[in-house]
Amino acid sequence: MTQIAPSILSADFMNLQRDVQNLEAAGADLLHIDIMDGMFVPNMSFGAQVVSGIRPLTQLGLDVHLMVEQPERYIEQFITAGSDLIMIHAEATEHLYRGLQMIKDAGVKAGVVINPGTPVSYIESVLPLVDQVLVMTVNPGFGGQKFIPAMLTKVAELAAYREAHADADFTIEVDGGVNDQTIAACAKAGADVFVAGSYTFAGDLATRIETLKKAANEAR
């Protein structure tokens, strides 16, 4: 099933409540929330308080992407803040399995993320544990970057893995440079959840979300 997850990184932060509510009214399926620590990625965004602030404003699931060194230090905060799904980068921790277990033990969905330079084989042993795999289709840290087409082979590899393993039950998400031109190839490769920040906010929200959904569904 196609799910469009606008990234609030491209929202107007002085009008965040308005933008969150507009996204829900415009047909977004999830809200993608980018947490950047200025260490794992060369940029900072915001912390768990913003997730707590958004929680009562919307019924949408909160898809929280931690671009943070040693994310296990903050998992509890993001659980308490009301995240529905918490994703940690395979490259950011020595204890990936433990981090994912911490999230699952709290009854929250857990996801693993891989950077463009990280192969699928690196996360193979955690695939039976996760609810979502996020394939970065840009180098993380900034919105508005250009989609890297070579990442599609990883999406296809994950889709084939899921097909071949009865114990694999995860959605495949793509993040970075997803727009009306790039989404079809992602859907064809097997992605289910599509993060779109700059594209969604560069026009009428409902029209853009609808355009993305239609392109993804047609490509399947």
Residues acting as catalytic residues: 34, 175
Annotation-wise, does 61 bind a ligand? no
Could you list the beta-strand ranges (E) of 39-184. Answer: 61-67, 85-89, 109-114, 132-136, 171-175
Q: Binding to ligand DX5 by residue 131, rule CB under 6 A? A: no
Instruction: Rule CB under 6 A: choose which of 30, 197, 213, 215 binds ligand DX5.
Output: 197
With CB under 5 to 8 Å by kind, the binding choice for 196 among ligand DX5, Zn ion, none is ligand DX5
Q: What gap in Å lies between CA 67 and CA 45, rounded to an integer?
A: 10
Among 123, 176, 187, 208, binds ligand DX5 (CB under 6 A): 176
Ligand-binding site membership of 175 (annotated): yes
User: In whole angstroms, how close is the CB of 68 to ligand DX5 at the nearest point?
Assistant: 12
Stretch touching ligand DX5 by CB under 6 A, among 55-63, 82-90, 150-158, 169-177: 169-177
Q: Is 203 annotated as a binding residue?
A: no
Structure tokens at 6: 């606008």
Using CB under 6 A as the binding rule, whether residue 182 contacts ligand DX5 is answered as no
Residue 113's binding partner among Zn ion, ligand DX5, none (Cβ under 5 to 8 angstroms by kind) is none
Instruction: Find the binder of ligand DX5 among 144, 168, 188, 210 (CB under 6 A).
Output: 144
Task: Return the residue of 8, 65, 147, 191 that touches Zn ion, per CB under 5 A.
Answer: 65
**Count of residues in the chain:** 220
Q: Which of 29, 72, 175, 192 binds Zn ion (CB under 5 A)?
A: 175
Asked if 168 contacts 161 with a C-beta cutoff of 8 angstroms, the reply is yes
Whether the CA torsion 44, 131, 62, 159 is positive or negative: it is positive
Q: What is the DSSP string of 144-209?
A: SPPP-GGGHHHHHHHHHHHHH-TT---EEEEESS-STTTHHHHHHHT--EEEESHHHHTS-HHHHH
For the chain, count helices (H), then strands (E).
Answer: 8, 8
Q: Tokens 């933008």 label which residue?
A: 19
State the binding site.
7, 32, 34, 65, 141-144, 175-177, 197-198
Site residues (vs ligand DX5, CB under 6 A):
7, 9-10, 32, 34, 65, 138, 140-145, 175-178, 195-199
